[in-house]
Amino acid sequence: MPASEAGDPRAAAGSRRYRRALIALFCAGLATFAQMYSPQGILPDLAVEFGVAAGVSSWAVGATTIGVALGVLPWARASDRFGRVRTMRAAMAAAMAIGLVAPLMPGFGLFIAARALEGIALAGLPAIAVTAIAETVRPGALGGAVGTYIAGTTIGGLLGRIVAALVGEPLGWRWGVSAVAVLAAIATILFLLRIPPTVVPARRGAPTPSALASNLRTPGVMVLVAQAFLLMGGFVAAYNYLAFRLQHDPFGLTLAQVSWIFLAYLAGAAASRWVWRLARRIPPTGVLLGCVGVMLAGIALTLPASLPLAILGLVLFTGGFFAAHSIASGLIERRASAEGRSVAPPLYNLGYYAGSSLLGWLGGVAFALAGWTGTALMVGGAALAAGALAWAYALTRGGIAAADRPAE
């Protein structure tokens, strides 16, 4: 144990409390992301049933991510006042209730409204989770703990998409989304029962305007927020419209067959934990730049009319994205000033979900104009911009290694 951790009341890696917290947060991540992205696997069915274009159907996902973007800061400040665990419990219980009702909405507009409300409730987890982990486990165990939480989000995203599509194809999309809501409810109950209280008092920090201003003046934080916007936006756009492409010539896959592409999420689950081992030997910003390179290689492989290449490309793209996201999530508090630290993770999530909503929709515009090639070029451009920002920031800090030093 490092001397700096002697006497630290937080859980050490491998301890019973550590395992209990990680199991609970894994379940919460699974429940949150299963609900958030379950319509992504059935967007073609939604478009047909409601008679809307592909880009419009994507609002079944985009409305929820807008709700998350709107909710992260209020939930974060609520957790300062009421405690991390109590606030997460309230948010997850509300999301579970709304998720069970949303598939019953009679029209597209009401369904989208319910999905937006669900997003506001779901925001309570990503707004607080990383801060709660930091207040539950010791610093030396933080990277692995964050990676485990993100692995839960990737497994949730995988199950939500596949279950919705497999159930939805024979029974209809409402049954598909309902099946995911029931799965998420089970995971939520496990979270509510297993999550231990944090042992470090919640840091109230500065009032929201002051904390936000502090982060806006911190280039390292804003670079990570911009990267979240660009990388997540491109990621969601790729998954939104690859399903449409694979159902058309020359592939001609069914909706159920297309749903299996989401198994590529397993690469993300593995990469989000493994990447921290690499970051012990290579500066995190260097690892992040490598992950962006893997994303670019992956999206390029989806361009030829070859199903094996498309699958390989999607696996690389997905693993690269989640590895980059895991690194950036772990860096955000390190780069934040003391005054704005409690607001830095929610601000990162604001960029993350704003990118999901806006670029996820713009990917549909690109798809309408130039097919999959247009969407892939947009996604690649977003990844390149994110990499350029990371590189430029590192140069201003004296190099890649210096960019990752904790904020003074």
Dist CA 209 CA 245 (whole Å) = 44
Phi/psi region, residue 406 (left: phi>0; alpha: psi -120 to 50; beta: rest), is beta
Q: Which residues partner with 52 through β-bridges?
A: none
- Distance in angstroms (rounded) separating the CA atoms of residues 328 and 322: 10
CA distance 366 to 343: 34
In CATH terms, the fold of domain 12-403 is Growth Hormone; Chain: A; (1.20.1250)
Contacts of 225 (CB under 8 A, 6+ apart): 347, 348, 350, 351
Local confidence band at 407 (pLDDT 50, 70, 90 cut-offs): very low
With beta carbons less than 8 A apart as the criterion, state whether 250 and 266 touch: no
Which residues, at least 6 apart from 306, have a Cβ–Cβ distance to it below 8 Å? none
36 or 196: which carries more pLDDT confidence?
36
What pLDDT, on a 0 to 100 scale, did the predictor assign at position 397? Answer: 82
Determine the average pLDDT of the residues in 143-161: 81
**pLDDT at residue 236 greater than cutoff 70:** yes
Decide if 280 contacts 173 (C-beta within 8 A).
no
Do 259 and 161 form a contact (C-beta atoms < 8 A)? yes
The mean per-residue pLDDT over the stretch 255-275 comes to: 80
Q: Within 10 A of 406 (CB to CB), how many other CB atoms are there?
A: 9
- Give me 363's structure tokens: 């990917």
Average pLDDT of the residues in 363-381: 93
- Closest among 389, 145, 157, 404 to 276, alpha carbons compared: 145
Average of per-residue pLDDT across 385-405: 84
Q: What whole-number distance in Å separates Cα of residue 319 and Cα of residue 93?
A: 31
* Model confidence pLDDT, tens digit, residues 298-356: 999 999 989 999 999 999 999 999 899 888 887 877 777 766 666 777 788 888 888 98
What is the structure's pLDDT at 291? Answer: 94
Paired tokens of 165:
């599509």
**β-bridge mates for residue 137, sequence order:** 11
CB 403 within 8 A of CB 285: yes
CA 15 to CA 199: how far, in whole Å?
Answer: 14
Query: CA-CA distance, 324 to 320, in Å (whole number)?
Result: 6
Q: What is the pLDDT of residues 57-78, one digit of tens each?
A: 888 988 998 898 888 888 888 8
Rounded Cα gap, residues 198 and 182, in angstroms: 28
Count Cβ neighbours within 10 Å for each residue of 329-361 and write b for 16 or more, e otherwise. Answer: bbbbbbbbbebbbbbbbbbbbbbbbbbbbbbbb
| pLDDT recorded at residue 193 | 87
What's the pTM? 0.76
Mean pLDDT for the chain?
84
pLDDT score of 8 more than 60:
yes
Share of the chain above pLDDT 70, in %: 93
| Residues making up the chain, counted from first to last | 408
User: Looking at the predicted structure, is the pLDDT value of residue 378 above 60?
Assistant: yes
